[in-house]
Amino acid sequence: MPVLSDTVEQPAERVPRRRGVFGNVGKSILDVLQIMGEAVALFVATMRQIRLSRRTWGRVMVQMVRIGTDTLPLTFLVSLFVGMVLVIQTAEQLEQYTQEILGSVVGLAMTKELGPVIMAFLIAGRAGSAIAAEIGSMNVYDEINALKTMDIDPIRFLSVPRVIAMTVALPTLVLYADITGILGGAVVVALDPAVKISVRQYFDNLTQWVNFKDIVVGLIKGMAFGLIVSVVSCTFGFRTKGGAEGVATSTTAAVVWSFVLIIIFDYFIVRLAILF
Amino acid sequence: MAETRGVSIDVQDLRKSYNGVPVLTGVDLRIEAGEIMVIVGGSGEGKSVLLRHIAGLEHPDAGTIRLNGLDLQEYLHLPPEKKPFRLSMVFQSSALLNSLSVAENVSLRLKEHRTHSDHEIRRIVSTCLDQVELAGTEDKMPSDLSGGMRKRVAIARALAVEPQIILYDEPTADLDPILTEQIGQLVRQIQEARGTTQVVVAHNLTLAGRIGTHIAVLHEGRIVDYQPAQELARSTNPHTQEFLRATELRVESNHA
């Protein structure tokens, strides 16, 4: 039998206190630290939950298709035009000197910087936002709680396949973007009368300057950015609260945080790569 | 499917506040094995919060919950294969995974924990969907189903693991009276067939009276009335009376 009560202690009335400038700054800093802490905790939990089971790999493959294969046409279009723009812009600047270095400019820019960063931005905007929105909706509509009541770990079920898939898919897309961008440059070299070098000269110069290490560093960046985008997107998905508006807020925040972290980590990876 | 029997639930002095606002202010409730306990109360009184505590989805500020004498926290930390009994929950929003088919939703827990062969899982899914009168919907996606069907799939998913406890959060919310009646009958059938302990959070006193073994009235975070279902109408508790009057008014206005 329950203990019945007709009288209930009334909660003391709470008077909301206004925060000053320092209060607001302090709260913002605490919020940022909270999100970073949650992201690190999610990363650690995800790494712990990785199991080499058939079921996990099945889910990874589904995500690989969504993140990787479905993005191929967009990747092709974006990187092709990046390579084309790069050639046309640089060719104009180099007209007074020599256009013979166009191949190395495009090759190094694509493999070392533009390929990884543009692909990471593209994936953050397309797949990262989708992950944050999907997990966010699942959170809002109790689907994650349903998993918990079924003794299914949401990290293992949702986060692990997405993190693995994006960490593997992004470097693959970077390589694809590098090749497409370089080919886009070659198309402009072949067709644009403003470019005074031959396609052969373009590729000779490119192969002379772009070495294996440049490509590997680009792929390592791709892996790191894939990890960052997936962990950030899952973190914001899991911390979503408050219906459709909450999902929208989380999705936007996941993309913004991903962009900022990609740029910050880009610097540190380049710095490390120069050391070795 | 093997016959399952229910387990008891013992809630003692459960308290919970959110951002300093108390929601549960000392809930004491004993639910006997195999009974259907219906928790009623107005909106925002803490019914769903209480249910989520019993499901282990929320951590109380104070108080304990025991399932068959076993502390809930201890139960939650046991690996799934070592849990002495299973608990399922049917959420207000149904909470079906939209990327999975009906059969995949119903069999999710069985597949994840690899407790049954594929053949057995197919049989269990078919039996559970039969029980909720949704045979033949195995390959449909949740988006192809009506609200009532989604709710019944959620019940089939809960049944698939042969739980000893099923918790329902507003199972008839947004459903028409016919579907409400069907869900009520289903809850009754589950109790008769399996003896499962069932806790139903509801607004609908008429339904509560029809399906419940006992009814508990939650007001301002506490149980203010507790009655066998048949005796609820005779309760002298002012909150229960207020609730009963509101229900009568609603019925009258529906008849008018």
CATH code, domain with B70: 3.40.50.300
Residue B103 shares a structural domain with residue B224 = no
Which chain A residue lies closest to B221 (C-alpha atoms)? A8
Categorise residue B32: left if φ over 0, alpha if ψ from -120 to 50, beta otherwise.
Answer: beta
Residue B65 shares a structural domain with residue B130 = no
Residue B256 has pLDDT above 50, yes or no: no
Residues of A with CB under 8 A from a CB of B: 1-6, 8-9, 11, 14, 55, 138, 141-143, 145-146, 148-152, 157
Residue B42 shares a structural domain with residue B15 = yes
Q: Is B66 helix (H, G, I), strand (E, B) or coil?
A: strand
pLDDT (0 to 100) of residue B213: 92
Residue B209 shares a structural domain with residue B227 = yes
For the segment A182-186, the average pLDDT, to the nearest whole number, is 95
Cβ-nearest to A2 among B91, B93, B223 = B223
Cβ-nearest to B28 among A2, A55, A149 = A2
pLDDT (0 to 100) of residue B252: 52
pLDDT, tens digit, 9 for 90 and up, residues A232-269:
999 999 999 988 899 999 999 999 999 999 999 999 99
For chain A, domain boundaries: 45-275
Domain's final residue, options B106, B128, B161: B161
Place of tokens 């207000």: B92
What global pTM score does this model have?
0.85
Which chain A residue lies closest to B89 (C-alpha atoms)? A149
Q: Is A165 helix (H, G, I), strand (E, B) or coil?
A: helix
Q: Which domain holds residue B136?
A: 96-161
pLDDT, tens digit, 9 for 90 and up, residues B12-49:
999 999 989 999 999 999 999 999 999 998 888 899 99
Cβ A220 vs Cβ A270: under 8 Å? no
Residue A82 CA to residue A95 CA, distance in Å, equals 20
Cβ <8 Å between A146 and B26 = no
Residue B171 shares a structural domain with residue B248 = yes
- d(CA A214, nearest CA chain B) in Å: 40
Residue B154 shares a structural domain with residue B207 = no
pLDDT, tens digit, 9 for 90 and up, residues B164-185:
999 999 888 877 888 888 888 8
Residue B148 shares a structural domain with residue B188 = no
pLDDT (0 to 100) of residue A7: 44
Residue A3 has pLDDT above 50, yes or no: no
Cβ <8 Å between A11 and B97 = no
Which positions in chain B touch A148 (Cβ < 8 Å)?
Answer: 56-57
Nearest alpha carbon to residue A136 among A4, A50, A244: A244
Residue B172 shares a structural domain with residue B49 = yes
ipTM of predicted assembly, 2 dp: 0.89
Nearest alpha carbon to residue B211 among B44, B39, B91, B6: B39
Residue B39 CA to residue B243 CA, distance in Å, equals 12
